[in-house]
Structure 1
Amino acid sequence: MRGRTLPSRLSRTALLLGGALGLTLGAAQPALAVPQVVLVQNSGWMEPFYSDPTSQFKPLVAALAGSVAQQGDALVLAAFNQSRPGAPSPKGLLSEKVDAKTVQAHVGAALAGLDLARKPGGAALADTDLGEAVNAAVTQVLQGKPGLVWLVTNNRNSPNNDQATSARNREFYTLIHRGAAIDKALAWPLRMQVQGPHYRANGLMIYVFAVGREGAQALDRLLAAGRIQRVITEPPARLKPLDRDTVRLVPRKVENAPGVDFSMDANGLLRADVAPDARSPSASIRWNLENTIYPYTIAGASIAARSMLGGENRRIALANNSVGRLAPGQAAPLASTMQLPVAQLPGKWSLAALQSAGSAYVLPGRIELQLQGQRLELSQAFRDRMAALFPGDPLPDIFTPPSEIQASTAVLPIEVRVHYGSGPLFAAIGAALALLGLGVGGAYAYARPRRVVLTVEDELRTVHTRAGATQPIYDKAGQQVARLKTTLFGNQLLDLREGAQVRLGR
C-alpha cells in the first residue's frame, strides 16, 4: 500500500488489508468536509480497461479524484472485485489527508501498479460483487458516518460468475433505493472503447453514493461548484432521491400586479420585488414547469401548489392540475394565481421601512409544489445510450423507480423584497432634527440668565434670575413685599402685600 499516515484528529485512519477494508474516522473534520472513498473495479470483466494500451481508465479515475477531493478531506482509494478467503475485497491502495496540489499524482501512482485480480490458488480472473463493495465502503470504511462513495465499474455484476445478472442487479438496486444509509445517488454512463485479448468494451459507469444528509449536501456543493463537470461533461443520471426536487418552477411573466416583478438568481432563489405602494392582493404568474429528474420522463402526475410567506399558508390556484409526458430537461407552461402577503408588508412610515431605507425589506418564505400519482419512465434516449455502452447488460433496471414512490415535492425558496426609498427616512431625520433643535433652543432659553427691572418704593432695582425661579422682593425696611416668578414667557409678581409699592419695570 502506498500512502501517508493521517493526523491523530482523524483517529489515525487505518486501512485493514488482511480482511475487509476499514477506516476509522474521528469526529473532527474540516468545516463542511466529508471523507471520500473511491472504489475501482479490477475483476476479470475489466480486462480490456487494463490491457488496452490506449485505455484512459486510470487517468480518468486519477483526474476525477483530484477534482472532487478537496484540501483536508480524508480520501481512501481501493480496488474491488469479489471477496474470497485469502483474497479480501475491497483492497486498500491509498489513504491520505488530501493535499489538493498532490492528490491527483498520488492517486495516479497508486493506480499505476493495479492489475486484474485472480481467484486464490489458480489463474482464473476474479468475479465482481458491486453490492459487497458499496456495503463495505458504507459500513466498514465510513462506519455509517456521512461521506461520499465513488464506484468505477464496467457495470457487470456477476458474483461467483453468476449468469443470473438480473437477480444480482436487483440486489444492488435494493441496496441503493431502499437502503436508509444512502441519501443520494447519481450515475454517469461514459463512452470508453477498449479492446483486450479476451473482451472488448464500449463504456464504463461512474456512480457516487452520498451517505447521510451531510454527504448529500457535500455532493450538492461539488455539483454546484462544477468540480465534477471539470472531468465528466455528461449530465448525471439520478438514481435517488426520486421523491423530491423532480421539477422546478421558473417565472416567465407577472400579470395584474402593478409594482410586482419576479426573477430567479443562479442559486434557484425566487425573488418577488414589490414597490412600497403596491398593494395588489394577488398576482397572476405564468411559469415554466421544468423536468429536472434526468433521465426520467414524467409520464403523468397531478400537481398542487402552496405558498408559505409571512406566517401565511395559502393555496396557489393553478390553471392546470396535471402534467404528462414531460421529458427530462423540457418545460411545460403553467399559469397560476398567487396571493401576496400585503398585510405582512410594513408601510413606508413604519420603523421596519425606515430601517430598510435605501435597501430592501426582506420577507423570506417558500413555494411548495406537490406531485401526486407520479409515474416516471426511463427516457428512450437514455435506454438507447445504455444499450450502446453496455450491450446485453440488464443493469439499467437499477434506474427503474421503486413502485412505492408515487409522489414528490419540489420546494422553491422565495424572498419578497420591498424597496423603500430614502425620502421618508430623510423626512423623519429632518423632523427629528427639528425637534432636537426645538429642544436645544428650549433648554437654552430655560437655562439662560435673565435680568428683571423692578421699581420698589420709587427705587429702581435689577434682579438676576432664571426661568422657573421664584424669589422674594423686600422693601427698604427689609420686609418681604412680593415674590417674583420668572417663566419662559415672562415675569409675574405674586403675593403682593397690600399697600406695597412694587411694580415691574420703571
Structure 2
Amino acid sequence: MTGWQRWSALVLASAVASSPAVTAQAASHVFLVQNSGWMEPFYTDPASPYKALVTEVVQAAMAPGDALVLASFNQGLPGAPSPRALLAQQGKPNRNKLRGVLGPLEVGRKPGGKAMADTDLGEAVGGAIDGALGGKPGLVWLFTNNRNSPNNDQATARRNREFYQLIHEGKAIRKALAFPLKMPVQGAQYSAGGLMVYVFAVHEGGARELDALLASGRLKQVITETPARLKPLDQDTVRLVPARVENTPGVRYAVLPDGRLRAELDADRPAAASTPSARITWRLENAMYPYTITSADISAQAALAGEVKPVALQADTVRNLAPGKPQPLASTLSLPVANVPGKWSLAALSTAGSAQVIPGRIEVRLANQRLELSQTFRQRMAELFPGDPLPDIFTPPAQIQGSRAVLPVEVRLQYGAGPLLAMIGGLFALLAAAGALAVAATRGRKVVVIVDGERRTLRTKAGAKSPLYNAAGDQVAELHTTLFGHQLANVREGASVQLADKAGR
C-alpha cells in the first residue's frame, strides 16, 4: 500500500466513526482526477471547465457527514506514485477549498524528464478500492478521457477492454455508471471533444449509497446526461408501469404515485375468497440505457403471502425494446390469496373495520436475452471521442443471458366489522352463561328428605355432600347436590331414605 493509500484509508476508516451522529448515514467517496499526458488540453485550455466540473460533482455527490479522498492519477512509477492524494477529510469541503486544491494541479510528468505521464485506469480504480476504501463500501469516482495507455501503449482498444473487464468481473464493484459529457478543449499538443465520468459502487453498501444519491436528484443538477449502465446487466433491466387496469368484483386496483400497483380486496365478497383476476395493460420499459434488448423470452409471476402464481402475458417474447421507447404488454393478473388471513383470523379481527396491508411483488424474468449497444449511443460516443474504440468496450458480457426485475405490489385487504361484532356478541353470551353458572354454583338450595318416615328440610349448594342420619344417630345415606339437582348415595342396606317430590310428598 502506497503512502497516499495508507493516509486516505486511515481518513476514510476513521472519519465516520469520529462522529456518532452521522455514522449510520455517512458515505465514503474517492474522487480520482486524471492528469496524464492525454489530459493535456483539459489543463492547458484557458476555457477548460474540467476542474470546475470536478468541484461541482464533489459538491453534489457528498452529503455533509460523508468522508472524502480527492486524488490525482496517471500511471505510478518509481519516484512518481499514482494515485496521489490531494485532500482527505470528513465532511463536504466548500468550493473555495476544492478550487485551492485543484487549481495548482498540472499534467503529470515522468521522473527524470519532461515526458508526460502515461495512464493506468485499472491501477487507479484498484488502488482506490483496496487502498483508500480499504475494501469497505463506498463510491469511487473517475474523471477521464478514456485513454487507457500504460507505458504509452498504443493498443488502447485492448487496454480499454481490460479496464472494462475489471469493472464487470471485479466482485467488489456491484454497480457502475458512466456519464459521457461533451467538453471540447484545445491544448498545445492535443485536443479532445469529451470527458467520461464514472462512478463505481463498491459492495452492497456502496450500491445503496449510489441509489440514494441518484434518487435525491442532487447529481442531476450538475450532470444532466442520462448515465450509461455498465453493471449490473442482470437486475432491474426492465420496468413494468401499469397503464390501464380493469377492476373485478370485490377488487379495486390503483396505481400509486411511485408506480407500485395497489389492489384493494373486500374480504366479505366471494371473489376475494377465491383467486381474483384482472386485465392489466402495462408499459414495458427498458431500464438498461444504452442497450437495446433485441430479443428475449419474457415471463412473470405474482407472489403474495408465501404463494406464487404465474401472470398470463399476451406475448412471451420481447423484440427491439430500446431505451426510452416503451412497449404495451397486456396481461391477466391473478392475485394469489389462498394464504391471505381469513375474515375469522386473529389478523382480520384485530383490523376489523379497516384494511390490513400485505406486501407482494410481481417478478419479471427475461431469458435468452440479447443486447446491443444502441445506435444513438454509438453516434454520441463517436461525436465525443472521435476515432476512439470506446463503444466496442460497451459490448455486454456473453454470460449475461437473463435478467429479472421486481415490481412491488401492495394488497389492502378490507375486513368488515361483522365477524368482530359476532365474536363480541358470542363472548358476551359466554360471559353471561358463565355468570349464571357461577350464581347457580354458589346459590343456597333447600331440599326435603324423608328418613324412616320423618321429613327433614336441609340447606345445601352445588357440589356439597351432606350425610343423613337416622334417629339412632347412625349415617344411613349421603345427599349429593349438583348444578342440575340432588341424588342419594351410599344408602345403607335396610334404611328407609328418599327424596321428597317437588310437592314435598
Q: TM-score range by the shorter chain?
A: 0.7 to 0.9
Q: Are the counterparts in 1 of residues 8 and 132 from structure 2 also a CA contact under 8 Å?
A: yes
Summarize deviations over 1:407-462 as a string: whole Å, max 9, x none: 222233444442212332232123213322332343234224x3638699999998
Task: Select 1:23's aligned residue among 2, 6, 9.
Answer: 9
* Stretch deviating more after TM superposition (176-185 or 83-92): 176-185
Shift of 1:291: 0.8
1:483, distance to aligned residue in structure 2 (A): 6.1
Q: Name the CA distance, whole Å, in 1 between partners of 2:501 and 2:101.
A: 112
Which of 98, 119, 122 pairs up with 2:110?
119
Gaps of 5+ in 1: 1-13
Instruction: Pick the aligned partner of 2:222 from 219, 231, 239.
Output: 231
Runs of 5+ consecutive residues of structure 2 not aligned to the other structure? 18-22
AA aligned opposite 2:28: P
TM-score by length of 1: 0.82
Give secondary structure in 1 for the equivalent of 2:379: helix
Deviation (angstroms), 1:489: 5.8
Q: Could you tell me which of 400, 407, 410 is aligned with 2:405? A: 410
Deviation at 1:151, TM superposition (A): 0.3
266-275 or 57-66, larger mean C-alpha shift: 266-275
Rounded Cα–Cα distance in structure 1 between residues aligned with 2:477 and 2:231: 98
After TM superposition, the structure 1 = structure 2 runs for residues 299-338 of structure 1, keeping only pairs within 5 Å, are: 299-338=294-333
| CA separation of 1:23 and 1:285: change in aligned 2, threshold 3 A | same
Structure 2 match to 1:391: 386
- What is the match of residue 38 of structure 2? 45
**Match of residue 202, structure 2, among 205, 208, 211:** 211
Match status 1:167 vs 2:158: yes
Q: Partner of 1:469 in structure 2?
A: 464
Name the residue aligned to 1:149. 140
Q: 2:446 aligns with which of 447, 452, 457?
A: 452
Measured in 1, the distance between the counterparts of 2:74 and 2:499 equals 124
Q: How does 1:341-356 map to 2 (within 5 A)?
A: 341-356=336-351
The question of whether the paired residues in 2 share the 8 Å contact of 1:249 and 1:288 is answered with yes
When structure 1 is superposed on structure 2, of 325-334 and 269-278 the one drifting more is 269-278
Tell me: CA distance 1:491–1:324, structure 2 relative to 1, closer, same or farther (3 Å): same
Q: Of the candidates 60, 63, 75, which is equivalent to residue 56 of structure 2?
A: 63
Amino acid across the alignment from 1:452: K
1:498 and 2:496 equivalent? Answer: yes
Question: Structure 1 residues 479-488 or 102-111, which shifts more?
Answer: 479-488
The CA distance in 2 between the partners of 1:413 and 1:478, in whole Å, is: 87
Q: Percent identity over the alignment?
A: 57
* Partner SS for 1:206: strand
Contact 1:451-1:462 within 8 A present in 2 as well = no
Once the two structures are TM-superposed, the CA of residue 247 in structure 1 deviates from its matched residue by 0.6
Check the 8 A contact 1:485/1:493 in 2, yes or no. yes
Q: 1:187 deviation in Å?
A: 0.9
Q: Residue 91 of structure 2 corresponds to which residue in structure 1?
A: 99
Q: Counterparts of 2:497 and 2:449 in 1: how far apart (Å)?
A: 14
Q: Mark the CA change 1:423 to 1:201 in structure 2 (over 3 Å): closer, same or farther.
A: farther
Return the offset for 1:358. 4.1
Call closer, same or farther: CA 1:501–1:470 in 2, change over 3 Å. Answer: closer
Cα deviation for residue 239 of structure 1 reads 1.0
The aligned residue for residue 83 of structure 1 is 76
User: Per the alignment, in what secondary structure is the counterpart of residue 385 of structure 1?
Assistant: helix
CA distance in 2, matches of 1:173, 1:501: 105
Q: Is the 2:363–2:404 Cα contact (8 Å) retained in structure 1?
A: yes
2:79 touches 2:111 (CA, 8 Å); kept in 1? yes
**What code does the residue aligned with 1:99 have?**
G
AA matched with 2:332:
T
Q: How much has 1:238 moved relative to structure 2?
A: 0.4
After TM superposition, give the deviation of residue 255 of structure 1 in Å.
4.2
Q: Give the match for residue 220 of structure 1.
A: 211
Shift of 1:126: 2.5
Verify the 8 A CA contact 1:254 1:260 in the aligned structure 2. Answer: no
Q: Distance in 2 between matches of 1:303 and 1:437?
A: 61
AA aligned to 2:496 is E
Segment drifting more, 183-192 vs 137-146? 137-146
Matching residue of 2:20: none
Q: CA distance change for structure 1 residues 264 and 139 in 2, over 3 Å: closer, same or farther?
A: farther
Query: Closer, same or farther in 2 for the Cα pair 1:493/1:103, shift >3 Å?
Result: farther
Q: Which moved more, 1:150-159 or 1:460-469?
A: 460-469
Q: Is the 8 Å Cα contact of residues 48 and 194 (structure 1) preserved in structure 2?
A: yes
Cα distance in 2 between the residues matched to 1:428 and 1:105: 71
Equivalent of 2:364 in 349, 364, 369: 369
Q: Distance in 1 between matches of 2:498 and 2:345?
A: 60
Q: Measure, in 2, the Cα distance between the counterparts of 1:455 and 1:432.
A: 40
Shift of 1:324: 1.4
Q: Distance in 1 between matches of 2:449 and 2:166?
A: 110
State the match for 1:184 in structure 2.
175
Q: Does 1:297 align with 2:277?
A: no
Q: Please say which of residues 60-69 and 128-137 is displaced more in the overlay.
A: 60-69
* Distance in 2 separating the partners of 1:201 and 1:224: 32
- In the superposition, relative to structure 1, how do residues 359 and 155 fare at CA in structure 2: closer, same or farther (>3 Å)? farther
State the match for 1:133 in structure 2. 124
Tell whether the 8 Å contact from 2:262 to 2:409 is kept in structure 1 after alignment.
yes
**Given residue 3 of structure 2, which amino acid in structure 1 is its aligned partner?**
L
Q: Deviations over 1:464-494 (max 9, x none)?
A: 5433334356789877788665555667788
Q: Which amino acid aligns with 2:446?
A: V
Shift of 1:75: 2.2
Q: How far 1:186 sits from its partner (Å)?
A: 0.2
Q: Give the drift of 1:323.
A: 1.3
| CA RMSD, 1 decimal | 3.7
> Which residue of 2 is the match for residue 5 of structure 1?
none
Aligned residues of 1:21 and 1:90 also touching (Cα < 8 A): no
Aligned pairs, number:
489
Is the contact between residue 81 and residue 126 of structure 1 (CA under 8 Å) also seen in structure 2? Answer: yes
SS in structure 2 opposite 1:325?
strand
Contact 1:454 1:460 in 2 (8 A): yes
Q: Distance in 2 between matches of 1:182 and 1:66?
A: 23
1:275–1:418 CA contact under 8 A, matched in 2: yes
Pair 1:95–1:108, CA change in 2 (3 A): same
Deviation at 1:306, TM superposition (A): 3.1
Going from structure 1 to structure 2, the CA distance change for 1:103 and 1:425 (only over 3 Å counts) comes to farther
Which of 322-331 and 227-236 deviates more? 227-236
Q: What secondary structure sits across from 2:240 in the alignment?
A: strand
